[in-house]
Structure 1
Amino acid sequence: MNSQRDEDALGWAGDDDPTLQSGTAESTPGSADVPPAAPEPPTAAEPPAGWTVAGPTAAVEADNERRRAATPMGSFTLIALGVFGGIYLLYTIGWFIGISRIDNPLSDAVGQFMFSLGLWLAVAAPAAWFGATFWLTRTGPRARLAVLLLGVLLLAPLPFIINAGGIS
């Protein structure tokens, strides 16, 4: 076989284009390219000349420290969030089905409106609990999982469970 033909199978057209060369001029052919280090989180810069900081600088420094100390979520936390998200979605569907079976016993307009509002808030409660918990517990994964577990216990769609025959 032709050695030129073997090398053609391992390359692409345009590989010899000098504008596509990676690395710097100082790198040697045998040295491995080192990937760049992760960028530092943004820090509070000094204000321009003549400007002063109006707010507390300690809060800015504490925020920068918190961003540096933040670690990404682990596998268990991600899986638990997915499971809790599925449970809360099922709870929302369960509340929707459960309240659709309830008749409005009130005759006055204000009472009917308040009853309907309460039913729709019950449908929205699991999604609101999940969203608020996810937003308010950004720095504490253990607290986030504990509050989500508490919500699973408190927000169970009882009208759906009772009418479906789960509780006699």
Structure 2
Amino acid sequence: MSNDDAFRWDGDDDPTLAVTPDADADAAEPSPEPDLAPQETDETTTEVAGTGNVALVAYGVLGGVYALWTVGWILGSGRVLDWIVAQPGSVPDPMYLASMVLAILAPAFWFGASLLLTRRKRAWLRFVALSIGALVLVPWPFVTVGVIG
């Protein structure tokens, strides 16, 4: 075979290369069709064939909201901590510091838990869980005090 063989049409009359409907059906074996129907795993759950594009975009948007909530908790609780430290003779309570850390981590935990616990459930249940978390985990110190308040 020489380098010029790629520029010629020699050998293209092979019946296995034909893609037209009038090609000989016995010449090429048909590829098996994938089974896209949901498969029963047990009585209560069904396995979903795949996640659609709209669902993936919605997960990304909700993930961005949870990331913004994490940043809001960092900024808002840091602002409240600065206010506590600025008071004369005041020292932040270790319980406040622990709750501040948990509040900062809560959006990430909720997002991960929602995705993990609704893995084999219907998609609308996952969106309900993520929407409830987006409403419950609003960074109230940031909303009420702000960063410069």
TM-score per shorter chain, which class?
0.5 to 0.7
Q: How many residues align?
A: 120
Secondary structure of the structure 1 residue equivalent to 2:93? helix
Judging changes above 3 Å, is the alpha-carbon distance between structure 1 residues 123 and 8 closer, same or farther for their aligned structure 2 residues? same
Mapped pair 1:164 → 2:139 = no
Return the letter of the residue paired with 2:78: S
1:1-168 equivalences in 2 (<5 Å): 5=4, 7-9=5-7, 31-36=27-32, 38=34, 62=42, 66=45, 69-103=47-81, 104=84, 107=91, 112-138=93-119, 139-164=121-146
The structure, 1 or 2, with the larger RCO (C-alpha pairs under 8 Å, 6+ apart) is 2
What is the TM-score when the length of structure 1 is the normalising length?
0.58
Unaligned runs of 5+ in 1: 12-27, 40-60
- The answer for the alignment partner of 2:14 in structure 1 is none
Aligned alpha-carbon RMSD (Å):
3.2
Give the alignment's TM-score, normalised by structure 2: 0.65
Ranges in structure 2 where 5+ consecutive residues have no aligned partner: 10-23, 36-40
The list of structure 1 runs, each at least 4 consecutive aligned residues, that deviate by more than 6 angstroms after superposition, is none
CA distance 1:155–1:31, change in 2 (3 Å)? same
Q: Percent identity?
A: 31
